Chains A and B, each alone.
Chain A
Amino acid sequence: RKEVEQDPGPFNVPEGATVAFNCTYSNSASQSFFWYRQDCRKEPKLLMSVYSSGNEDGRFTAQLNRASQYISLLIRDSKLSDSATYLCVVRSSGSARQLTFGSGTQLTVLP
């Protein structure tokens, strides 16, 4: 079983739609959680960290459910520029420097 699992998609949504991605992780000792964004043929970049109480950054909301070991990302009022692959990323307690990346969920926002 993969340590971090995501639905690969693709998710094709119209502009203005709300879309949600989920991610599950297998290591209950995982301590830190993030969403990275990767545009086509570009490098990954940090989108946001995920905090236990949930957090919001503009149109983006991240949630963490430790009991069920899943993380979610909600995008409201989708823009064409949101089209990208979203990577779920986890850091486990036994590894101070290592991040484990999910294989990504592809989003295309259609005009």
Chain B
Amino acid sequence: DVKVTQSSRYLVKRTGEKVFLECVQDMDHENMFWYRQDPGLGLRLIYFSYDVKMKEKGDIPEGYSVSREKKERFSLILESASTNQTSMYLCASSWRGSINEQFFGPGTRLTVL
């Protein structure tokens, strides 16, 4: 069974704090993704990575950065958290050859006060 895990289910941070969200997958997937999900807006892609140390911007990269130092791990970084970054953050992964099915982690509900 594919397993994608995220470091926290719930996180509360203050405005201006640096926030790290970690994602780990155990299926040797090449592709990894970070989304945020907001009511009425659906899932929006923040960044994705198709290999170690490679990254590409998604639709809403502003205010975020990412790191992929190891194949199984993809980190999302909020350099200076703001209240409009309060959201559900979902990590996903997929095989290089399977651009279709993405396997998601359970999500991290981040609240920025």
Contact = CB atoms under 8 A, between A and B. Distances in A.
B62 interface: no
Given A97-B50, A98-B58, A45 B31 contact: no
Contacts of B44: 101
A49 B56 CA distance: 25
Interface of A: 4, 8, 32, 34, 42-46, 49, 87, 91, 96-99, 101-104
A43 B9 CA distance: 12
Interface residues of B, number: 23
Contacts of B43: 44, 87, 101
Interface string B70-113: 00000000000000000000100010000111101111000000
Contact of A103 (B31, B41, B56, B100): B41
A32 B104 CA distance: 19
B23 to A, nearest CB: 12
Given A4-B42, A103-B42, 17 more contacts: A32-B100, A34-B100, A34-B101, A43-B105, A44-B43, A44-B90, A46-B102, A91-B99, A97-B50, A97-B56, A97-B94, A97-B99, A98-B58, A101-B35, A101-B43, A103-B40, A103-B41
Contacts, number: 46
A98 B90 contact: no
B45 interface: yes
Given A8-B40, A103-B40, A43 B100 contact: no
Most chain B beta carbons < 10 A, residue from A42, A44, A46, A87: A44
A97 B100 contact: no
Contact of B106 (A42, A87, A99): A42
